[in-house]
Homo-oligomer: A and B are copies of this chain.
Amino acid sequence: MSVDPPGAALLVIGNEILSGRTRDANVQALGSALGAIGIRLREVRIVEDREASIVAAVDALRTHYDYVFTTGGIGPTHDDITTDAVGAAFGRDVRHDPTAVELLTRYYGPAEATETRLRMARVPVGATLLDNPVSAAPGFRLDNVFVLPGVPRIVQGMLPGVLATLPGGPPIVSRAVTAWVRESDVARELADVQARHPTLDVGSYPFARDGRFGTVLVVRGNDAAAVITASGAIESFLGVRGITFEAGEGSAH
């Protein structure tokens, strides 16, 4: 049975992504991890390290989506302003959390748990800590907003624990058919498959390899049986037309 899956948004905070210095890796990691538990990532925003920009985005996204994740800006330096901005978006004061202070003091040792490092123990009033198994400094959850650090390795370490707390749904699954055909030559048949399966996403991604044109035809949704049926319909029209193809679960083009 197909139901509209819950929707999530990701807010990536960081000048280094916008300037091109760093290539974001959290969108892909979060999109995949959410899909596996049946939650659809429906929007991403990337904003600068400016309080007004972060507050505006948090406000817009948290009223629109079931869940909002943020990455970046919760470290100890002057450019880490996400915690205060999320507090401002909710109209909550930001204070040192005793458990977070203890975690950081244990991690760095009492002598090295400086005032600057203990900035990472500050959270808005009412927030719940999110466990960081990689580098101690916790994230936090406030209402439907989950605030995570920016370093991809740490995000990936935290995600299993964070996502385990969310009510799951049928996973969003996909089938990909890689066909040696230009997408314009199968556009009509593909639109037909999409029309017959309105609850699924049928996508078409052209590529060129070794001077040949091909297209990856992807069917995605949380109704696994319908995904197989729709993907089978694609394989069938390709077969009838004598177009070479390979079916699978994730060849990346």
Contact = CB atoms under 8 A, between A and B. Distances in A.
A174 B116 contact: no
B174 A19 contact: yes
Given A42-B48, A172-B19, A218-B16, A78 B31 contact: no
Interface in A105-131: 114, 116-117
Contacts of A19: 31-32, 35, 40-41, 172, 174, 220
B21 A41 contact: no
A163 interface: no
Interface residues of A, number: 61
B23 A25 contact: yes
Contact of A31 (B20, B172, B250): B20
A204 B252 contact: no
A187 B78 contact: yes
A225 interface: no
Nearest to A76: B184
A188 interface: yes
A32 B20 contact: yes
A44 B41 contact: no
A44 B46 contact: yes
B43 A46 contact: yes
A12 B183 CA distance: 20
A215 to B, nearest CB: 9
Nearest to A207: B151
14 contacts: A15-B203, A18-B42, A19-B31, A19-B35, A20-B32, A20-B33, A21-B31, A23-B28, A43-B47, A44-B44, A75-B204, A77-B187, A79-B204, A117-B184
Given A18-B41, A20-B29, A23-B28, 9 more contacts: A17-B31, A18-B44, A19-B31, A20-B27, A21-B218, A43-B53, A77-B183, A77-B191, A78-B202
Give the 10 A-B CB pairs with smallest separation, nearest first: A20-B32, A20-B31, A78-B191, A44-B46, A77-B204, A76-B184, A116-B187, A77-B187, A117-B184, A23-B28
